[in-house]
Amino acid sequence: MSSTVDLDAIIGGSPFCRFLNVRAEVDARGVLATLPIRDQLVGNVMLPALHGGAVASFLEIACLLQLAHETGTSAPARAIDISVEYLRPARREDTFARARIRRLGRRVAVIHAEAWQGDEDKPVCLLQSHLRLPSIGAR
């Protein structure tokens, strides 16, 4: 299944997405984003566990990709606010995420996203975000 927008081009146009090496594919449920494990993502070397900031920013990217996929525009939306909940440590392994648009208004989108590792039913991190949609002008 393909997207109406080129997600790889969106990722390629974001230095930070390239820094994190985020990957995206589209299936029947929407965008499946992957954060491949690398040692530099670790935030706690004792556990070890991924840095909460790395996981949260991966979820922000998942929200942007799902929004681009559903709206068919690659113009970037801007974060207004985010709220993150950490449910369990993110282990030193690949992390996956899906986002769901809960409301798409004219100016603002409300998007929820979840990250998991081995088991999608055991999310490691949840994120809610408000995004200012593109092409409405300056905030």
Partner 1 sequence: MTGDTTPDDDTRTDGVADMADNPYASRMVEYTPYAVAVGMKYVSSSPGRGTILLPWRADLVGQDGTDILAPGVLTALIDHACGLAIMAGLGFEAAPATLDLRIDHMRPAAPRASVTCSAHVYRATRTIAFLRAEVWDSSPDDPVAAAQAAFTLNRREAK
Mark 35-74 with x for binding to partner 1 (rule: CB under 8 A) and - for no binding: ----xxxxxxxx---xxxxx-xxx-xx-------------
As a whole number of angstroms, the distance between CA 25 and CA 2 comes to 8
CA dihedral 118, 122, 128, 131 (to 10 degrees): 30
Smallest separation, CB 113 to partner 1 (Å): 12
Among 25, 36, 79, 102, binds partner 1 (CB under 8 A): 79
| 85 Cβ contact partners less than 8 Å away, ≥ 6 residues apart | 125, 126, 127
Considering the rule CB under 8 A, would residue 84 count as an interface residue with partner 1?
yes
Smallest separation, CB 91 to partner 1 (Å): 14
DSSP assignment of 16-61: HHHHHT-EEEEETTEEEEEE---GGGEEETTTTEE-HHHHHHHHHH
Considering the rule CB under 8 A, would residue 18 count as an interface residue with partner 1?
yes
Considering the rule CB under 8 A, would residue 76 count as an interface residue with partner 1?
yes
Interface positions with partner 1 (CB under 8 A)? 13-16, 18-19, 39-46, 50-54, 56-58, 60-61, 76, 78-86, 89, 139
